[in-house]
Amino acid sequence: MLASHRLPDADAVPAGAPPTLLDGTSVFFDLDGTLIDIAATPDGVVVSPDLLAALDRLVAAAPGRVAVLSGRSLDQLDHLLGRFARRVAVAGSHGAEIRLAGQDARQRSAPPALAAATRALRDVAEAHGLLLEEKSMGTALHYRHAPGREAIAASAAAVLADRHGLVLQRGKMMVELRAPGDKGDALCALLREEAMVGTRPLFFGDDVTDEDGFVAATRAGGAGVLVGPARASAARYRLDDPAAVRRWIDAATVGAA
């Protein structure tokens, strides 16, 4: 089962920065490649205190209207974002795990087949020198350090996804077997929460898994913001990199406490 990403026609390339007006807007962020720079390994990322302080200001300026939608598990997000992860709504595992600020997670059980699929994926990782990342709702095989082994990782994951009935998720220099769910559904679920009802969602993301969120944000009267080089995307706006996202947050919160 391949995760469906509704990529638009090739000429639909987003451009320009989104407006910084927060009135009536809710703000959703992907994590890796959007709020933080991509690193060589999943554990190598840096979440700076400055970024967390800027996000705190954003939450103060848009109370109840900031959320994180990530392919990371909730546990990983808690570890990386610390107390900030409890201040906002968070959807982990590409939307399969959702937690509102100050509440317990609405969590499904991991797919029963995930353990067997992970064992098989670990054999592939060991045989070909690839990096395995185990998460609550999925297992990723990373080839950033060995780009020449992409085809091995991709074909092994495709076979295992089929065999075990798991979603096959492509990502930046990785392929993942995971539970169903997508960031678009997670965004729609969060938009039904009181503070977000009737708001225009802006969703900032960089990867193919973020396209579902761009589509959902657009359908809800908001827009997607692609972070990274121009490419075909369902996003309307584009920012170059996480540093530009940080400047957007700073501009949107000028004068906020």
Ligand X SMILES: O=P(O)(O)OC[C@H]1O[C@H](O[C@H]2O[C@H](CO)[C@@H](O)[C@H](O)[C@H]2O)[C@H](O)[C@@H](O)[C@@H]1O
Q: Contact positions toward ligand X, by CB under 6 A?
A: 30-33, 38-42, 45, 70-72, 133, 135, 140, 142, 144, 171-174, 207, 209
Residue of 30, 206, 207, 212 marked catalytic: 30
Q: Is 30 a catalytic residue?
A: yes
12 sits in which H/E element: none
- Strand partners for 203: 28, 224
> Which residue's CB is nearer to ligand X, number 1 or number 256?
1
Least CB distance to ligand X at residue 118 (A): 13
Instruction: Output 57 or 135, the one with its CB closest to ligand X.
Output: 135
Distance (Å, whole) CA 25 – CA 165 = 38
CA–CA dist 174, 136 (Å, integer): 17
The number of residues making up the chain comes to 257
The residue at minimum Cβ distance from ligand X is 71
**Closer residue to ligand X in complex, CB, 47/113:** 47
Task: Count Cβ neighbours within 10 Å for each residue of 62-82 and write b for 16 or more, e otherwise.
Answer: bebbbbbbbbbbbebbbebbe
Strands 66-69 and 223-227, bridge-based pairing: unpaired
Closer by beta carbon to ligand X, 150 or else 256: 150
Other C-beta atoms closer than 10 Å to the C-beta of 107 total 16
Which residues are known catalytic residues?
A: 30
